[in-house]
Amino acid sequence: MLQTDNVTIIGLTGLIALVFSVSQLILLRKNGKMVPLWSLGQALIGLGLIGILALIKDPLPDSWVLAPTGILLGNLICLAALGKWAGFKLPKKPMLICAGGVVLTAVLFQFSRQVGAPLGSLEAILLAPLAATLIYSAWFAGVQAKSFHSAYIYVISGIYWLKGLLIATLTLGALAAIGDQYIIVTSDVVKITGIAFLIGTIINNMVWSLQNAQDILVGHLKSDNPVSEYSGAVSKTIKVKTIPENQLNQSVDSDINPVSISRDKPIKSDNKKIEEKVVTDLSVLSQDQKLELISKLTDKEKEVFLLAADGKKNGEIATLLNASEASVKVHRSRMTSKLGLKSVEDLAKLRDATSNTDSVSQKVNEDQSINPGNFGLT
C-alpha cells in the first residue's frame, strides 16, 4: 500500500491546480488571453499530477508517460501566459518547437524504456526538460517583474526558481544512480518534492490572481522596457519646445541642438522599438546654423540629399548614383535623421539656403553616373 500522506499531498496539489484553473477562467477572463493560457497550463499540471497517481502500477503502463509530459506542457503554457501578460506576441515557430519537444520527450522516454535503459536515464529524460522550463520561467518572470515593478511577478519568479533548482537537483540525482528513491512514493524525496509543489502551486496561483485582479481594477502596470509594454494603452507623444531664436546664436558654441524633439512611444505587444524623430524648424535657424546642419552629412549623404531635394525617389537616386536602392535608403534615412527634415519642400529650402552646396549640386546634376566605387554603395 502507498503511504496516504504522500499520495494526499500529490493529489491535493493536482486538485488545487484544477480549482484555480476553473476559478481564474471564470473570474479573471476579462484580463485578456493570458488568463485562459494560465488556466490551461494549470489544468494540465493538475491533471498530470493526478494522472501520476491514477496510472501508477507495477509495471507502469505505457500511458503513464502522458502524466509527466502533461506537467511539462502545462508549465510551458504558463510561461506563454507570462509572456502575454508582459505584452509579447507569442511566436508560432518557438511554440511549435516547444510542443515538438514535449512530444519528443514522451517518445524518447518510451523508446528508452523499450530498449532497457537504466532507471536514471529514464528519469533524467523527464526531469531535465522540466527543470529547464522552470528555470527559464523563473528568469523570464524576474525580468518582467523588474520591468513592470510587480511584486506579484517577483514572487512567481522566486517560486519558479525554487521548483526549478529542486527538479535540477533531482535530475543530477537520477544521473548519479540514486533515482530509485523517486519511484517509491513513500520516500522522503517524494515527500519534499510534493510539499514544494503544493506550496508553490498555491502561492503562484494566488499571486497570479491578485496581479490579474489588479490589472482589471486599476489597469496594467507600465514597463520600463518599451519592447515589452502592454498593448492596451494608446500612443503618447512628448514634445520639447523649439529653442527660441535669441538662444540659437549660442547653439553652435554650446552644442545646443536647435531642433525640436518629438518622441512617439507606441505601447504595443509586437516588439517594436521606440520611434524617435528629430524635427528641425528652418525658419528659426541662421545661415551659419543651416550650414552647420549640412556639415553633419557625409559626402555620400550630401549627394543623396541634393537629389532628394529635387524630388527624386529612391529608385531614381539609385539609378543616378549607379548604386543599389537599399543602400540609398540607408543613406537617405541617416541624412533625414541628421537634418531633422523629411519633406521634399524642407530639403529644397535647406538646399537653396546653403550656398556652399551649389558646386556639389551642379556636379551631381551634370554627372548622372557617379563612380559606385567612390560612392561606396554597390
Beta carbons of 35 and 90 less than 8 angstroms apart: no
In this structure, is residue 89 part of a structural domain? yes
Residues 217-227 have a mean pLDDT of: 69
DSSP one-letter string for 23-84: HHHHHSGGG-THHHHHHHHHHHHHHHHHHHHHT--SSPPGGGGHHHHHHHHHHHHHHHHHHH
Q: Which three cell numbers stand for residue 12?
A: 491535493
Which of 206, 228, 250 is the C-terminal boundary of a domain? 228
Residues 141-151 have a mean pLDDT of: 92
In this structure, is residue 350 part of a structural domain? yes
Q: Please indicate, yes or no, whether residues 173 and 304 belong to a single structural domain of this protein.
A: no
pLDDT value for 366: 52
Which of 186, 206, 228 is the C-terminal boundary of a domain? 228
Q: Please indicate, yes or no, whether residues 218 and 298 belong to a single structural domain of this protein.
A: no
Residues 313-329 have a mean pLDDT of: 86
At 64-119, the pLDDT tens digits run: 899 999 999 999 999 999 999 988 888 888 889 999 999 999 999 999 988 988 88
Which of 228, 244, 261 is the C-terminal boundary of a domain? 228
3-state secondary structure at position 281: coil
Q: Please indicate, yes or no, whether residues 190 and 310 belong to a single structural domain of this protein.
A: no
In this structure, is residue 238 part of a structural domain? no
pLDDT value for 208: 95
Q: Taking 80 as the threshold, does the pLDDT of residue 238 lie above it?
A: no
In this structure, is residue 340 part of a structural domain? yes
Q: Which of 178-187, 188-197, 245-254 has the highest mean pLDDT?
A: 188-197
User: What does residue 237 show for φ and ψ, rounded to 5 degrees?
Assistant: -115, 130
Q: Please indicate, yes or no, whether residues 72 and 154 belong to a single structural domain of this protein.
A: yes
pLDDT band of residue 277 (cuts 50, 70, 90) is low
User: What does residue 46 show for φ and ψ, rounded to 5 degrees?
Assistant: -60, -45
pLDDT value for 123: 86
- Between CA 67 and CA 63 the distance in angstroms is 8
Q: Please indicate, yes or no, whether residues 96 and 166 belong to a single structural domain of this protein.
A: yes
Q: Please indicate, yes or no, whether residues 28 and 152 belong to a single structural domain of this protein.
A: yes
pLDDT value for 181: 67
- Between CA 272 and CA 16 the distance in angstroms is 38
- Could you give the number of structural domains in the chain? 2
pLDDT value for 231: 42
pLDDT value for 230: 45
Mean pLDDT of the chain: 79
Q: Please indicate, yes or no, whether residues 132 and 218 belong to a single structural domain of this protein.
A: yes
Q: Please indicate, yes or no, whether residues 306 and 200 belong to a single structural domain of this protein.
A: no
In this structure, is residue 278 part of a structural domain? no
CB atoms near residue 148 (< 10 Å): 24
Q: Taking 90 as the threshold, does the pLDDT of residue 130 lie above it?
A: yes
Residue 55 lies in domain? 4-228
Q: Taking 80 as the threshold, does the pLDDT of residue 280 lie above it?
A: no
Q: Please indicate, yes or no, whether residues 205 and 293 belong to a single structural domain of this protein.
A: no
Tell me which of 231-235, 245-249, 251-255 is least confident.
231-235
Of 231, 280, 201, 241, nearest in space to 24 by CA: 201
Q: Taking 50 as the threshold, does the pLDDT of residue 2 lie above it?
A: no
Which residue pairs, CB below 8 angstroms and at least 24 apart, start in 370-377? 370/303, 370/320, 370/321, 370/322, 371/322, 372/321, 372/322, 372/323, 375/300, 375/303, 375/321, 375/322, 375/323, 376/300, 377/300, 377/318, 377/321, 377/323, 377/324, 377/327, 377/328, 377/331
Do you know the residue count of the chain?
378
| CATH code, domain carrying 303 | 1.10.10.10
In degrees, rounded to 5, the angle at the alpha carbon of residue 291 between the alpha carbons of residues 289 and 292 is 60
The single residue listed with the C-alpha cell 552646396 is 357
- Between CA 273 and CA 292 the distance in angstroms is 29
Q: Taking 80 as the threshold, does the pLDDT of residue 206 lie above it?
A: yes
Q: Please indicate, yes or no, whether residues 46 and 113 belong to a single structural domain of this protein.
A: yes
pLDDT value for 32: 87
pLDDT band of residue 42 (cuts 50, 70, 90) is very high
Q: Taking 60 as the threshold, does the pLDDT of residue 360 lie above it?
A: no
Q: Please indicate, yes or no, whether residues 12 and 160 belong to a single structural domain of this protein.
A: yes
Residues 216-227 have a mean pLDDT of: 71
Task: Supply the DSSP symbol for 183.
Answer: T
In this structure, is residue 269 part of a structural domain? no
| CATH code, domain carrying 184 | 1.20.1070
Q: Please indicate, yes or no, whether residues 174 and 39 belong to a single structural domain of this protein.
A: yes
* Percent of the chain residues past pLDDT 70, beyond the cut: 75
Residues 308-324 have a mean pLDDT of: 87
In this structure, is residue 256 part of a structural domain? no
In this structure, is residue 271 part of a structural domain? no
